[in-house]
Amino acid sequence: MKAVIVPRQGGPETLEYRDHPEPVPGDHDLLIDVSAVGVNYHDIYNRAGVYDYEVPFVPGRELAGTVAAVGAAVTGFAVGDPVATADVPSPGGYAERVAVPAERVVPVPAGISLETAAAVLLQGLTADYLCRLTYPVQPGDVAVVHAAAGGTGLLLTQMVRNRGGKVIATASNPDKIPLIRSMGAQEVICRADAEFDKETLRMTDGRGADVVYDSIGRATFEGSLAALGRRGHLVLYGKSSGTVPEQDLHELGYRGSLSVHVPMLPDYIHTPEELTQAATVLFDQVLRGTLRVHVGGTFPLRDARAAHEALESQRTMGKLLLRRGN
């Protein structure tokens, strides 16, 4: 079979599309014929060396496809079932077939395409725990959502609005503003044109935000703290611009009794029951039309390098997918 390999950590040019051994599923695994793969910043972190990974490896955590074989100890799945996962073990999901523990796989309900499932699962689960569990948004809360035109940002914006919150979104360039507004953001700040912390304070008559959802990290960290009101919460769930600087924790008290959360998805879907429950809630929102999924680009698996370059360029909007075939 074909797969995308990272032979050494580095830039997008390190990605190689080549032959790779067929996966051999164990008794507790499902063998999945991959239809679509979600491209995420986590893949870039692994490829670039932000996370130390033993090379060579196949990147990718999120995919959807059909069951090709069922392990002897697995129940509840059959060959041909449409399924998705956001927790592909090594080797990863940039491949034509993968073997995944059945307990980390969820059924894709009728009415949702495999491409949509691959586009929404990981980032949808992330957006859900951010606004429902890490900081449960209440009606009237003001939430700053950074990188609001990205895959997670667009979903999070909608979920915050659905919970009755007000969204002040930020974007890297003004071309992204119409899409962000169409997803429900009341205000959008282009970070290249304005200081978002000062604009947030102005838009809230000096009160500041109740919560800032920050996936950017170093470039926005200080501004995110400054945008918060008294007893505000900074939810730091990514670092696309790099690791944040060291912070004197006592300083958070002097700045208004602020708190900083650094959550990670695996801790919110740790058990099979947690994963299944969260996925069911997520897919139900898609089926009911209360959550729109925006796919900003689809690339053949062989063009994974182009997908990584596009995501790192900050020009993309919504979710990027890799698709099996040419």
Question: Of 81, 142, 130, 82, nearest to 269 (Cα)?
Answer: 130
| Domains of the chain, CATH where assigned | 2-121+272-323 (3.90.180.10), 139-262 (3.40.50.720)
| pLDDT for 105 | 98
Report pTM. 0.94
| pLDDT for 315 | 86
Coil/strand/helix, residue 296: strand
| pLDDT for 326 | 61
Low-confidence ranges of the chain (pLDDT < 70): 326
| pLDDT for 324 | 87
Question: Of 193, 198, 244, nearest to 220 (Cα)?
Answer: 244
As to burial, measured by CB atoms within 10 angstroms (0-12 exposed, 13-18 middle, 19+ buried), residue 163 is: middle
| pLDDT for 90 | 76
